[in-house]
Structure 1
């Protein structure tokens, strides 16, 4: 986890448990619904938690296209893009999901000419159609290019 996030957790008195968690319902193992069994990644003894609040942060990994692996020089993952020392004049973003659209917006705001290519019939294909339509309108207004 990034050190800035760790500091925010410490300041907010937020406990962090790294491992595999299972949310349990009422059963012989846990009479309280919402109890969490944590299996720690380091192999230490499991722990049972009864949280007041819970944040599930699973993380994500960039996925390369078949036959077009990330070289982090010309074909970048979102992780590799964070390592750029200078911004390109233009960029094609393959994928109009949440991460792709975040990058499109940010890079456009920094003056990069952005083209987004999305396989689905709309950007943000897993979101509500009205949200997708409105975001598409706003991005077109910013003069971003989209391959529909």
Structure 2
């Protein structure tokens, strides 16, 4: 039986989720901020500041919101809301909250709020924990590739 390599895993993964991780052309209408499928909120309603406070991400309170970059962001507290608004470029996830690995492949994909990493003082999200592991195998190279494609991949 042939050995199963990372290349095989990536190919199988991309084939399996082809309807989610689509070429950029099919996502031309994607907003600059990932609004998820169900609630149309940035970060799928998770408080982005909880990523910066350690522990697991937490859902925000729908009564505590802010508008930024054309999206509604939800927070657990007024303190978190104010901290975010003090420097949204610092706290908002990279690539509009779309999957960082997909961006490195010139594509966009939704994310699992629990598949994340702060790297060089920036928040990155991924489609799943498995994809996060692939992305993390060479974070700097994947960021460099994603930066080449972003934000133009949303305009194709």
> After TM superposition, is the score higher than 0.5?
no
Shorter-normalised TM range: under 0.3
Q: Which has the higher helix share?
A: 2
Q: If you compute each CA radius of gyration, which structure gives the higher value, 1 or 2?
A: 1
TM (norm. structure 1) is: 0.25
Q: Which is bigger in relative contact order (C-alpha 8 A, separation at least 6)?
A: 2
State the TM-score, normalizing by the size of structure 2.
Answer: 0.24
